[in-house]
Structure 1
Amino acid sequence: MSILEVVGVSKLFGALRAVDDVSFTVEAGEIFGIAGPNGSGKSTLFNTISGIPFGPDEGRVVFQGQDLSRLKGHVIARMGLARTFQRETAFDTLSVFENALMGASYGRAARGAGAAEVTEALQFVGFDKAMFRRPAAELSVYDRKCLMLATALAMSPRILLLDEPASGLTKPEIEDSITLIRRIAGRGITILLIEHVLTMLLTLSQRLMVLNQGRMLILGEPEEVVRNPEVIRAYLGDRRRAA
């Protein structure tokens, strides 16, 4: 059963169509991968789905049967859709615990979440209680990414949009992130995953969509998608011409 439907979505910046008539569905419980060259519209697509900071100019985003297209980001979050960002966003002067508590107050858990729920989210991603009082500014890149995940989980999402969670990580940290994302999916949370690290995409994704110049290039089984000549040209075409 589809939990998310994206129907003819476009986002325009003047004459530029950053996202151009993109349509797809995501099944409940699925890990749905999204790939594409830099500037292909991946993060802009996430913006239009989450309403942060804007929705689509054309088309519809339907989450659990409800049209999100004209709703504000905080309303969408409280319906059960959370996201992370490419950069390790956090309130640096707040503690690890306070950051996650901010997430809980913003999301679906806002009316009922307290210390126990935030503690559970932080421990789930690997923080021990000794870390709870540390300022976010003192965390490593990997720990800041884990804090973003914990903050999103504290929102009690039904669907989670992950924007390049492996960016800036070492190979062992990427492997740990793969394990953590699998555990999140094991809780029944549907995941949309943008990533440039092919290992993560191929390991986690059940289906993979490739964007190029704002449009969907292909959608299918990950191993077949990455071997598609059009996908190879989209990623390597300029490099081949330069050679």
Structure 2
Amino acid sequence: MALLELDGVSKAFGSLKAVDGVSFKVEAGEIFGIAGPNGSGKSTLFNVITGIPFGPDRGTVRFDGTEIQGWRGHRIARLGLARTFQRETSFDGLTVFENALMGSSFGAASQPAAAAREAAAEALEFVGLGAENFGRPAGELSVFQRKCLMLATAIAMKPRMLLLDEPASSLTKPEIDSSIELIRRTAARGITILLIEHVLTFLMSLSQHLLVLNQGTVLALGEPRAVISDARVVEAYLGTRRAAA
């Protein structure tokens, strides 16, 4: 049985269909990539899956066989589904450790304070924000470090599945390479990953399956090399003239 399954999921804002009848499955243990041009509905799709800040208008979202559409975001998170965001989101007035501790205290596993602190520290060490960073205000971190902090906070929640929204945005080439390796190591912990990214080479290096959205609908879905060779995908990214060339 798939860990995550969407069936006919849609979300509209007035007459704009941001997500329109999207269906796919993510198996436990895999890295599943989602691509698409700007405005194709990728982040809206993450929103309706996680209930942050809204759910779908219609369709079914199942996590480990349980229908979660219409659930509040905190309830979905505590079921074991966590996410990061496009922008580097943190509580800047809190320390690095306090940010991670919020994740471990809030997450799926109910644990005493000492265990929550241990989970926060382990997650920070895992992403490369060692003890020398624990007391730093989060607002002092670099863009890459803030992305690592988002990931650590999510990992500290002990999720079964992690949704990553454009983790490579605003990063340098060496930082992108480090991010790829960090995502691989995260998956090796047994965390299933659903990944949005504009950079197709990033997705190709990580994903077992690739879905491409365009104007809210599924344009292509399958093995990554076959998907990026699809003429419709090439046209969506490059335009009709350049695709023909």
TM-score between the two structures when normalised by the length of structure 2: 0.96
What's the offset of the Cα at 1:236?
1.2
Contact 1:109-1:154 at 8 Å conserved across structures: no
In the other structure, the counterpart of 2:2 is 2
Report the equivalent of 1:68. Answer: 68
Q: 1:168 aligns to what SS in structure 2?
A: coil
- Other-structure match for 2:50: 50
Q: Which residue of structure 1 lines up, in the alignment, with residue 165 of structure 2? A: 163
Give 3-state SS (helix, strand or coil) of 2:3's partner.
strand
Residue 94 of structure 2 is aligned to residue 94 of structure 1: yes
Opposite residue 84 of structure 1, the aligned amino acid is: T
Extract unaligned runs of 5+ from structure 2. Answer: none
Q: Is the 8 A contact 2:104 2:117 kept in 1?
A: no
Q: In the alignment, which residue of structure 2 is the partner of 1:35?
A: 35
Partner residue in 2 for 1:108: 108
Paired residues for 1:221-236 under 5 Å: 221-236=223-238
Contact in 1 for aligned 2:9/2:60 (Cα 8 Å): yes
Distance apart, 1:109 and its partner CA:
2.8
SS of 1:178's partner is helix
Shift in Å, 1:25? 0.4
Are 1:147 and 2:118 matched, yes or no? no
Pair 1:125–1:239, CA change in 2 (3 A) = farther
Matched residue count? 242
Task: Return the alpha-carbon distance in structure 1 between the equivalents of residues 210 and 41 of structure 2.
Answer: 15
SS of alignment partner, residue 139 of structure 2: helix
- 1:213 aligns with 215
Equivalent AA in structure 2 for residue 43 of structure 1:
S
- Matched with 2:124 is 122
Instruction: Name the aligned partner's letter for residue 237 of structure 2.
Output: Y
Q: Which amino acid aligns with 2:167?
A: P
Q: Give the secondary-structure state (helix, strand or coil) at the position aligned to 1:109.
A: coil
Give the superposition deviation at 1:174.
0.5
TM-score, normalized by length of structure 1? Answer: 0.97
Separation in structure 1 between the aligned mates of residue 73 and residue 135 of structure 2, nearest angstrom: 29
Deviates more, 1:157-166 or 1:110-119: 110-119
- CA distance, structure 2, for counterparts of residue 2 and residue 217 of structure 1: 21
One-letter amino acid of the counterpart of residue 53, structure 1: P
Q: Aligned-pair distance for 1:73?
A: 0.2
Which amino acid in structure 1 is aligned with residue 197 of structure 2? E
Identity across aligned pairs (percent)? 68
CA RMSD of superposed structures (Å): 1.4
Task: Give, in whole Å, the separation in 1 of the partners of 2:219 and 2:208.
Answer: 17
65 and 186 in structure 1: CA distance in 2 versus 1, 3 angstrom threshold = same
Counterpart of 2:6, as a letter, is V
CA distance in 1, matches of 2:2, 2:65: 9
